Amino acid sequence: MEKDSLFPKTISSDRGNKWKGTFGVKVEERAGNWRKGIPDRSETNAPSERWLLELELGTAACMRRCNAPKGYWSYAARTFCANVARDNTVRDGKTAYELLWKEKHKYEIMPFGCAVQYMQGPQKEPKGDKFESRARRGLFLTYDRGGAIIVL
């Protein structure tokens, strides 16, 4: 099987049960180099553990800043990861987004829960005054594919 260019060249992990069986075999097939932690000891991969802490704290900060209900944590985490990938340089002065897509991010980076005005889509017959704003107000939740955003 040809190595996937979007997959990391090296994976570092503990030796937990999640890595045993088919999942671990497929990771080894795609990544090739699998650095395993100390046997029978969890949390022995400092970079991965640090990123999980950053993700947890970043998601909590997003949620707290806009006073979001707990049910929106997945949107906050997704937005946090997307913004980190678009803003922080990781290798050769490029962001993770640039390394993956071979181009710079061309849209505005928005924080989770910020107020936005958006167009719902084409309307066949304008309602009300023709000079009245057609934009709607909402709250930004996360990015979607193709540069679209998800609003509430």
- pLDDT one-digit tens code per residue, 71-91: 888 889 988 988 888 888 888
CB-based burial of residue 128 (10 Å sphere; 0-12 exposed, 13-18 middle, 19+ buried)? Answer: exposed
Tokens read off for 62: 């997003």
Structure letter (DSSP) for residue 30: H
- pLDDT one-digit tens code per residue, 118-150: 877 666 555 667 777 777 888 888 887 766 677
Q: What is the pTM of this model?
A: 0.64
Q: Please give the backbone phi and psi of residue 2, each rounded to the nearest 5 degrees, phi first.
A: -70, 140
- Among residues 86, 90, 56, 85, which one has the least CA distance to residue 73? 56
Angle at CA of residue 85, ends 98 and 2, nearest 5°: 60
Tokens read off for 149: 């955003």
Report the DSSP beta bridge partners of residue 115: 139
- pLDDT one-digit tens code per residue, 1-52: 445 555 567 777 766 666 667 767 776 677 667 777 766 666 666 777 788 8
